[in-house]
Homo-oligomer: A and B are copies of this chain.
Amino acid sequence: MKLKILAKVDSLDTQKSIISKIGELINFKNLEPGDKLPSERMLSEKFEVSRSNVREAIQKLELYGLLDSIPQSGTFVANIGVIAMNGMIEDILRLEDPDFKSLVETRILLELKTVRLASLRRTEEDLEKIKEALDAYSEKVLRGEDAVQEDLLFHLAIARASGNSIMNNFMLIITPEIITNFEKYHVCDKKLANLSISEHQDIFEAIKKQDPKLAKQKMKDHFTVLYQYCYNIKKST
């Protein structure tokens, strides 16, 4: 009964094909920044797909900042020339599904930065939120319960305190997949959880003291375990 997933893959394929065709069209018509694309209706007719499919493709390209759709007016190519447009569309179509290794790599990179920024920029309110997340985590671990969610919320609270909305956004994007992978590979063992409490506390204290170097180091220590698991999984698969 894997047919469910197949339907989604199929839908993604048509979306990719539409994106590709929109790219070709921009090339063919030499559309420059600010120019108007043909209407959704015309595109759906030209590409022989449903209009809703066209809309979804446009929405995706809007997400990547390549198009800008304005109600009752039209869809316009963003302030990006044809050359960059071509390159980016090609890259978007080539994008592979994220693997666990990429996930961990990216997470560590982001968190070593957000913790540093958080220690420099955190407000009192940020600090309170982090403390709340820390306490919620500790309590649950001490009760012997699984606390993967509280763990990640602690890290997200730091990301928010970093004052960098993009890194915060990126952390939000990768967090769910981290949670599912953690549970899948049983990364968060209960023996480790007790150790993690003090590690979390150290991180919190460093942020409180506004010591960026210490904060980064404590986060690095915290991730040492994760590194190992990452490599173990890499070897075993």
Contacts and interface: CB of A to CB of B under 8 A. Distances in A.
Given A106-B167, A167-B102, A83 B176 contact: no
- For A94, A106, A174, the residue with the greatest tally of chain B CB atoms inside 10 Å of its CB is A106
B166 A102 contact: yes
Interface stretch (A42-50, A84-92, A186-194, A202-210): A84-92
B106 A180 contact: no
A26 interface: no
Interface residues of A, number: 63
A195 interface: no
Interface string A134-168: 00100000000000111011001000100111111
A103 interface: yes
A150 B11 CA distance: 32
Interface in A94-138: 94-99, 101-103, 105-106, 109-110, 113, 117, 133, 136
Total copies of the chain: 2
A215 B217 CA distance: 24
Contact of A166 (B103, B149, B180): B103
A58 to B, nearest CB: 13
Given A64-B176, A149-B80, A91 B4 contact: no
A170 interface: yes
A69 to B, nearest CB: 9
Contacts of A66: 176
A78 interface: yes
Given A71-B4, A153-B84, A168 B106 contact: no
Contact of A113 (B109, B163, B172): B109
A153 B72 CA distance: 33
A110 B167 CA distance: 10
A169 interface: yes
Interface string A27-70: 00000000000000000000000000000000000011110001
Identify the 6 closest CB pairs spanning chains A and B, nearest first: A65-B176, A84-B149, A87-B153, A79-B180, A102-B164, A96-B165
Given A8-B71, A84-B153, A97-B165, 4 more contacts: A79-B180, A87-B153, A99-B165, A101-B164
